[in-house]
Amino acid sequence: MQVVYHHRTMGRSSQGMHIRSLVEAFRAEGHEVRIVSLPGIDPRQTAGVMPFLREDDPAHGINRLWKNISRKCPQFVFELLELLYNLFIPFRLLPVLKQQTSAFLYERHAYFMFMGVLLGKLTRRQVVLEVNELPGFKRARGLVMKRLALKIDRHIFSWADHILCVSSVLAEEAKRRGAKVDRVHVVPNAIDPKRFQSLGYGKLVRKRFDLCDSVVVGHVGLFYPWDRLDVLIKIVKDIRESHPEVKILLVGDGPEMEKLRQMATEFGMSDTLVFSGPVKREEVAAYIDAMDICVLPDSNDFGSPIALFEFMAMGKPVVVPDLGPMRDVVAHKLTGLIFPHADYDALKETLLRLIEDANLRRTVGDAAKRTALKRHTWTENARFTIRLVSDSNELGNLSSSHPGIKELKGGRTT
């Protein structure tokens, strides 16, 4: 089958990883994929690159232009450019659609973007729309023209043949905004099992950072304020009064980095709190392997964190807040531990339980790994998408959710 994959991202960080991984999964299943991106953007090359737009970012040529637009444009101007990009899409997308005469269009939803879906319908293609966020939910750079964004979404939701939402929260919101119920499907993010295997490199990481005799509480991410890593540091500081063997390993970089470093100094935790800094994507598995417990202290209420699936695939017990995207994937006390959202006393109690019970860590981690490798791989996501397109005349016989969701709905917070 032929697939035309259209997106408007910079192809970096988790966005690029999602695009690259799904494209690779389609191709591994024998399908032909053409990617249509912003000029000069290739997510196969930039996936996983940290997106922090600093002056020393090694972007060149047209990539530096996109970087400067994103960094320096006032929000209203930036949104106008997002809207005007629709006028450019036919010049990029139509020639590919004309070449790929039997292809379906797979488009990653973006604010104010409608031309891709419209062209797909005008050229009588099946259109699959992937939704990772929606206007009305908080996004990092804010939103000025919210009413227009909502209006555009109502149109494209009515045009798309299949709408794949990364969480049940987004799926329900898409339905409220006019999407037909039988067109909306929940397809969380996933992992590539080949990239997340325990090959023993975690021992080298532990040795490098003097973690060999420690219980390591870890996190991988982009260090935004809403991740509440500051809370995690305070909790571990308290826990160490009775469990001095506990240390923290934070892998990544981001806007909160300086604040977190200052906290480590103020709390006298310089030897307890280990910052790896940003690491190459191919090295992330080794750092996760060095952890005993993986934590997401907080998250937004709609997204599907790729790190969650990476933790699970590496056989680590995960501790996550009680939010819809987490409940989509994690079965409480089976494949992870869920604490009430923003109840940080409960987070502390949950961490203590895992710190004190190595058998529980092992049991939950093993179950998480089995679940991730069976239900949450990019291959499974690609197959699900192809089945939707191939069997579109029999959609009534298909689940309205990704098969990895079905058996996990019983997991609840207690």
What is residue 60's predicted lDDT score, i.e. its pLDDT?
54
Instruction: List, by residue range, all CATH 3.40.50.2000 domains of the chain.
Output: 2-190+377-406, 193-375
Query: Is the separation of the CB atoms in 141 and 75 below 8 Å?
Result: yes
What is residue 402's predicted lDDT score, i.e. its pLDDT?
56
What is residue 393's predicted lDDT score, i.e. its pLDDT?
40
Tokens found for residue 230: 């500051």
What is residue 412's predicted lDDT score, i.e. its pLDDT?
29
Which of 200, 139, 392, 196 has its CA nearest to residue 311?
Answer: 196
Q: What's the one-letter identity of residue 246?
A: V
Which of 324, 352, 350, 349 has its CA nearest to residue 337?
Answer: 350
Indicate the burial class of 310 (C-beta count within 10 angstroms; 0-12, 13-18, 19 or more). buried
What kind of fold does domain 2-190+377-406 have according to CATH? Rossmann fold (3.40.50)
What is residue 72's predicted lDDT score, i.e. its pLDDT?
72
What is residue 71's predicted lDDT score, i.e. its pLDDT?
67
Alpha carbon of 124 to those of 77, 114, 179: distances in Å? Answer: 33, 16, 19
What is residue 392's predicted lDDT score, i.e. its pLDDT?
78
Chunked into runs of 10 residues, the chain (414 residues) has average pLDDT values of 94 84 96 92 66 46 60 85 95 96 96 97 96 86 90 96 97 95 97 90 96 97 93 97 97 94 95 92 94 97 95 98 98 98 98 98 98 97 96 51 46 30
What kind of fold does domain 193-375 have according to CATH? Rossmann fold (3.40.50)
